[in-house]
Amino acid sequence: MRVVLFHPRGYRITPGVKNVGSLACVMPPVGLASIASVLRKAGHEVYIFDAALQYTVTNREWAERICRLNPDMIGFSATTVAFYEAYDVCLLVKEISPGIRTVFGGVHVSWGKEKILEKFPAIDYVITGEGEQAIKMLAEGSSDYDSIYFRNGSEICRGTHTLQPCVLDELPFPAYDLLKGFPRKYLMPLFGYPRHPGANIISSRGCVYSCSYCDRSVFGKSFRWNSPEYTFQQILWLNRDFGVKHINFYDDLFTLNRKRVEDLCLRLASSRLPITFNCIVRIGHIDPELIKLLKKGGCWMVSVGIESGDQNILDTHKDGLTIEKIRRDVQLLHDSGLWVKGLFMIGFPGEKEDSIVKTRELALSLPLKEANLTAFTPFPGAPISRKIDDLGTFENDWSKMDCVQFVFVPGEIPQKSILEHHYGEFFRSFYSRSFMKKNVYPRMLFQSPHSFWRLIKHAPEFLSYRRKLISN
């Protein structure tokens, strides 16, 4: 069978205008690449189209390119913000070639299930949860599995047999080679890497915590991981065959299984492989010995989920986090010499302006070299979404759920413009503080020269975005 896998942009294009997001970061769609590798191993002919990488191509052009290949089936990834873009391409494909079977998977449809098929008639199948085995079964002509929803005339059906979770070490490495331009055309976050090119790896699946805003529709509360040897061999392969010099681990809980991380770091250290990596570490899972091992293995930057500077907000929305632990662990990481990035969020249900100010003040008080601030977004599958309309004003527009636009305004905040003002004020104050001027800016050129070159090359676009950000 001939299968096309499509990764949508997740934003609207404006003719003649470069999208700043695509200039700042474009990472390989590793989930689709994993599905592609499983299909290819089973003997199918597979293609991947990544619209996020080619932001000037219109949806009709994508549909025409897909149909020229005359595929039997096309699979779409579907995050919430990218869903409408994916569906627009799906509609155009059906308009040109009605016989192509269309399949949607990913976190958004894993929440929506049969509701997606009811509302969007151009979709033939929905796969919930992990996609590798289910789409393989579809390609082989079988849809009778409980993770597959499909149409039977006017009726929407669900399979009855259960597919067991993937044994992660039995999966072939993701088919990065099917991504046009990989790895050099893909861009890691600005100043988030020392050397180019890089790649992302997902070496575990799931999360055991229950934060109010996280959608666990795909993996639930399970936690599974690749063995240290499997992950090490994947890194070795990426370096040897593709020239990758830096790895971004996109695991939600990279350090949860300490023994796994220890073994991997020791393997990397003993191999003397010329490669560095970033990872997310959870507050409370950090100690001096673990930090030493991470550095020994080549860890360059760590991201920590801090979210809020108000303990009451943390107690309500973030599972098992305290301000005391945040201060302790961030200081430990900073003292070790690692590049530390803090992840924050504002606009939580129940949040007042003084809570937002506390978040900004905490960020300014910590020895962070970088910060990311997102707008609280009640994704459809998140626990908080069930009662979100009772907690404030919610604009339920999936295409705006990019964690930058404020689609939700808590009842305690009079209007959205207040959140937008604090959003701009956070970045303005964080990046103008003396800590950045003394400890970060002088080192940026030497720490990440490729990022500096990108910043200069696209200076007009970045400056325009910065002016828009801080003018709020």
Q: How far are the Cα atoms of 128, 310, 347 from residue 360, in angstroms, in the given order?
A: 38, 10, 13
- SS3 for 31? helix
pLDDT for res 348? 97
Predicted structure pTM score: 0.93
User: Of 242, 268, 115, which is closest to residue 179 (Cα–Cα)?
Assistant: 242
- Which of the four CATH numbers 3.80.30.20, 1.10.150.120, 3.40.50.2300, 3.20.20.80 does domain 190-470 have? 3.80.30.20
Q: Which two tokens stand for residue 202?
A: 């997902």
Which residues partner with 345 through β-bridges? 374
pLDDT tens string, the chain, 472 residues long: the values are 999 999 998 766 555 556 676 777 889 999 999 999 999 999 999 999 999 888 789 999 999 999 999 999 999 998 999 999 999 999 999 999 999 999 999 999 999 999 999 999 999 999 999 999 999 999 999 999 999 999 988 899 999 999 888 999 999 999 999 999 999 999 998 888 999 999 999 999 988 887 888 887 777 777 899 999 999 999 999 999 999 999 999 998 899 899 999 999 999 999 999 999 999 999 988 899 999 999 999 999 999 999 999 999 999 998 789 999 999 999 999 999 999 999 999 999 999 999 999 999 999 999 999 999 999 999 998 999 999 999 999 999 999 999 999 999 999 999 999 999 999 999 999 999 888 888 788 887 788 899 888 888 877 877 776 666 656 6
Torsion region of 207: left, alpha or beta (phi above 0 gives left; psi -120 to 50 gives alpha):
beta
Cβ neighbours of residue 233 closer than 8 Å, sequence gap 6 or more? none
| Dihedral angle sign, alpha carbons of residues 190, 192, 197, 199 | negative
User: Of 292, 214, 197, 293, which is closest to residue 248 (Cα–Cα)?
Assistant: 197
Question: Where along the chain do its domains lie?
Answer: 2-158, 190-470
Cβ neighbours of residue 409 closer than 8 Å, sequence gap 6 or more? 347, 392, 393, 415, 416, 419
Instruction: State the Cα–Cα distance between residues 298 and 276, nearest whole angstrom.
Output: 5
Please report the DSSP string for 169-197 in residue order: GGSPPP-GGGSTTTTTT-BPPTTS-SSS-
Torsion region of 188: left, alpha or beta (phi above 0 gives left; psi -120 to 50 gives alpha):
beta
Instruction: State the Cα–Cα distance between residues 71 and 5, nearest whole angstrom.
Output: 10
Q: Which CATH superfamily is domain 2-158 in?
A: Cobalamin-binding domain (3.40.50.280)
As a whole number of Å, the end-to-end CA separation of the chain is: 51
pLDDT for res 470? 59
Give how far the C-alpha of residue 97 lies from the chain's centroid of Cα atoms, to the nearest Å: 32
User: Of 376, 419, 423, 379, which is closest to residue 398 (Cα–Cα)?
Assistant: 379
Q: How far are the Cα atoms of 79, 133, 398 from residue 219, in angstroms, in the given order?
A: 15, 14, 21
